[in-house]
Amino acid sequence: MKTHCGTVSIVGRPNVGKSTLLNHLVGQKLSITAHKPQTTRHSILGIKTTGNLQVIFVDTPGIHVDAKRTLNQVLNRTASSSMHDVDAVLLLVQAMVWNDDDQRAFELACKPGTPFYLVVNKVDTIKDKSELLPFLTSLPTHPQLKEVLLVSARTGDGVSQLESELATLIPEAAFQFDEDELTDRSSRFLASEAVREQLTRFLSAELPYALTVEIEQFEESDALLRIGAVIWVEKNSQKGIIIGKGGNRLKQVGSRARQSMEQLFDCKVYLQLWVRVKAGWADDERALRSLGYDN
């Protein structure tokens, strides 16, 4: 049987639903989601194999114009590099919204000479669909733009049509991954992201952007997974906010993260969390590389 295998990059500005779309496409929660921009910080592969077709989707950090900190510059670099050497690009935008970040993402999608789709997400939030027409006609065009597609990554509406469109661009090639593989990321990485997701959800304002998570212990024994994670922050004052009064907030984060891991790894998890200070980590290239960024 001839097989088809290719790579599709999912790009766009922060908070347009890229991670939600990836999770829906592969049928498994691989990328963390939260109602805050820049939740995704790494490129994550989601692998979908159906019959003789294998599509490798790449979820990416949100592209944004105002990237003053080194971390934000690294995230932009990660997202833009993901559009090279792929078979297609999905440029996600939010229905009824087009801003400077969308324009920047569009310009980057045009550069590599790769076919791309403009995917208008969150159409389920628009009650009167006739309102979409003026927005759709205002969208920019380009010779590499294949089509404009309407989807709801949350409900799955329009996703099957999107997959059918992509299938026409996937070349004949051997599978790159085993048929039962869903991602190239390690269990340690997925564990660190599970902790960071809960921190992002429990913490308000800017604090989620001043922290990162590193797994120090990951041991499997007798159906029990022991995980020790360090939450790195930039200031002592941030450490106290994360721990909370009497350690309450850290306990809540740990409990939710543990439940998420048990569902993901299908086993009991014993999770320990520590909060430590690493001043200026988000503006230090060496520190960022040591924490797994820009690989």
Question: What CA–CA distance (Å, rounded) separates 170 from 53?
Answer: 8
Q: Name the average pLDDT for the chain.
A: 91
Q: What is the pLDDT of residue 284?
A: 86
The percent of the chain in helix, strand and coil, each rounded to the nearest 5, is 40, 25, 35
CB 75 within 8 A of CB 18: no
What confidence score (pLDDT) does residue 251 get?
Answer: 97
DSSP state of 261: H
Q: Give the model's pLDDT for residue 27.
A: 92
Amino acid identity for residue 131 in this structure: E
Q: Are 175 and 1 in contact (CB under 8 A)?
A: no
State the pTM of this model.
0.88
Segment among 10-19, 86-95, 115-124, 202-211 with least mean pLDDT: 202-211
- CATH fold, domain 4-167, is Rossmann fold (3.40.50)
Distance CA 166, CA 164 (A): 5
Looking at the chain, the domain(s) classified CATH 3.40.50.300 span 4-167
Could you tell me the CA-to-CA distances from 107 to 79, 81, 113 in Å, in that order?
13, 13, 11
Class of domain 187-290: alpha beta
Classify burial at 179, counting beta carbons within 10 Å of its beta carbon; exposed 0-12, middle 13-18, buried 19 or more: exposed
Give pLDDT, residue 41.
Answer: 78
pLDDT at 239 over 90: yes
**pLDDT range class, residue 53, cuts 50, 70, 90:** very high
Q: Which residues of the chain form CATH 3.30.300.20?
A: 187-290
Q: What is the pLDDT of residues 165-222, one digit of tens each?
A: 999 999 999 999 999 999 999 999 999 999 999 998 888 766 777 889 999 999 998 8
